[in-house]
């Protein structure tokens, strides 16, 4: 959309978790921003889009995704990720820094920001590497990375193993008004594991790690957050024990937040049956009681956001014996549909489902997007809540096709996505 261009979205169900709005209405966009929520004041010649009663909501904010670029463009490029994101209603994406090279230099952070802008459809907000090369030893220059645009600090899919290093990281991040994102698995217990320890892993003959490895790391880092008064955010939390610890830390008033990803509230460890490498993830899929605990934590507010946890892999990464396969699943195109499955199942109210994908991550990251309000960016998604579709690996948008939800029937489809008022999908 060029500056000054106007669009009116009419006959929409305006749904905004940030403001609590859920009502039929119209929305006026001019110059890439929302002007009004009653559709009045549109100039003559404005484009009119009839939403047909579908839900018009803020564009989704994905707070955790890996991109193949730089270093693994054979798995995914920023352009292909942007295509998949737009199809999934995602207009803002937070990119992990464990690329090749890692995002441990301000110039690389700036490169990712510019590449996101160049897509025209997706704002990419890069995390800075917490340690050099994401190797867990030497801390990076948090101040310089923050100035370059890093939104927070993490070593991505690697846990920060050293308690001393984590303590320093939390202290330094606090000094720069930022936080640390931790992959919560105790490395000495979880290294080289392919599944969660238990009957299924034993029956399949797979190397495994106890589910307690997650809670152990969470407990340690909560203690460090208490010590430093820093902010720790736990990624893709997947066990009841870890969630109990996080819930208690929040009640204590500590600066502790967390997210989870769709596999951990929609699938359990039975999905790896028949050695399905698409379902080999990190952390691994858990028992059914843990899946139910994650659903409960989404509903009660313990979990702050849902992330796609997008990890692109190619055929060579997955068409090998299960124990040797690379962990990770493609998640951009399925983020909304799998989240809405919990609404359709009666586990989550619709407003809460969308809050976890819009207003909640915007609040966590202090973004101006994620809301339908005058002056806010016109990042929008149009959703048919009841339209059925089937996840088919090989036919998903984008390059990455390694979906753990391959074959899953879903209800809730993106009809259109707009970035700064310009239609980028549908």
Q: Under a CB-based contact definition with an 8 Å cutoff, are residues 96 and 156 in contact?
A: yes
Angle, helix 212-228 to helix 163-175, in steps of 10 degrees: 50
The catalytic position among 309, 317, 379, 406 is: 309
CA angle 191, 304, 283 (to 5 degrees): 15
Residue 364: its H or E element: helix 359-365
Annotated active-site residue 50? The verdict is no
Cβ atoms of 307 and 231 within 8 Å: the answer is no
Q: Say if residues 390 and 410 touch (Cβ distance below 8 Å).
A: yes
DSSP reduced 3-state for 388: strand
Strand segments (E) across 178-331: 180-182, 195-196, 208-209, 232-234, 256-260, 305-306
DSSP 53-107: T-EEEEPEEEEEE---TTT-TTT--HHHHHHHHHHTTEEEEEEPS-SSS-S-SHH
Residues with Cβ < 8 Å from 380, sequence gap 6 or more?
9, 27, 29, 56, 57, 58, 59, 91, 372, 416, 417, 418
**Which tokens belong to 26?**
């119209």
Question: How many residues are recorded in the chain?
Answer: 426
Tokens of 412: 């809730």
Q: Is residue 93 a contact partner of residue 62, using CB atoms and an 8 Å limit?
A: yes
The region that residue 60 occupies, defined by phi over 0 for left and psi between -120 and 50 for alpha, beta otherwise, is: beta
d(CA 128, CA 147) in angstroms, rounded, equals 11
**Secondary structure of residue 207 in the 3-state scheme:** coil
Active-site annotation, residues = 309
């Amino acid at each position: 959309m060029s500056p000054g261009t106007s669009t009116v979205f009419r006959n929409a169900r305006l749904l905004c978790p940030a403001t609590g709005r859920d009502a039929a209405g119209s929305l006026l966009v001019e110059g890439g921003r929302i002007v009004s929520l009653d559709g009045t004041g549109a100039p003559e010649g404005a484009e009119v889009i009839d939403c047909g009663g579908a839900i018009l909501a803020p564009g989704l904010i994905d707070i955790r995704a890996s991109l193949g670029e730089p270093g693994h463009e054979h798995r995914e490029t920023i352009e292909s990720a942007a295509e998949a994101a737009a199809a999934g209603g995602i207009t803002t994406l937070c990119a992990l820094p464990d690329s090749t090279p890692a995002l441990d230099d301000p110039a690389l952070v700036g490169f990712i920001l510019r590449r996101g802008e160049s897509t025209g459809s997706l704002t990419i907000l890069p995390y800075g590497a917490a340690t050099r090369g994401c190797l867990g030893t030497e801390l990076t220059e948090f101040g310089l990375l923050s100035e370059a645009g890093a939104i927070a600090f993490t070593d991505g899919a690697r846990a920060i193993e050293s308690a001393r290093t984590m303590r320093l990281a939390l202290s330094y991040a606090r000094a720069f008004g930022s936080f640390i994102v931790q992959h919560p698995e105790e490395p000495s217990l979880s290294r080289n594991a392919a599944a969660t320890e238990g009957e299924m892993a034993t029956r399949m003959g797979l190397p495994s790690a106890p589910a307690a490895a997650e809670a152990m790391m969470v407990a340690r880092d909560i203690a460090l957050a208490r010590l430093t008064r820093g902010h720790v955010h736990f990624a893709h939390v997947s066990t009841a024990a870890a969630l109990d610890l996080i819930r208690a830390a929040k009640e204590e008033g500590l600066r502790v937040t967390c997210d989870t990803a769709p596999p951990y509230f929609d699938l359990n460890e039975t999905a790896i049956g028949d050695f399905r490498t698409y379902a080999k993830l990190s952390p691994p899929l858990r028992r059914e009681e843990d899946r139910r605990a994650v659903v409960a934590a989404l509903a009660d507010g313990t979990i702050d956001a849902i992330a796609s946890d997008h990890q692109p892999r190619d055929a060579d990464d997955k068409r090998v014996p299960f124990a040797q396969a690379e962990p990770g699943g493609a998640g951009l195109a399925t983020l909304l549909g799998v989240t809405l499955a919990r609404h359709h199942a009666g586990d989550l109210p619709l407003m809460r489902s969308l809050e976890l994908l819009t207003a909640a991550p915007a609040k966590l990251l202090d973004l101006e997007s994620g809301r339908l309000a005058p002056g806010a960016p016109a990042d929008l998604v149009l959703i048919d809540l009841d339209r059925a579709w089937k996840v088919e690996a090989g036919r998903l948008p984008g390059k990455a096709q390694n979906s753990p939800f391959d074959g899953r029937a879903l209800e809730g489809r993106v009809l259109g996505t707009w970035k700064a008022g310009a239609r980028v999908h549908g």
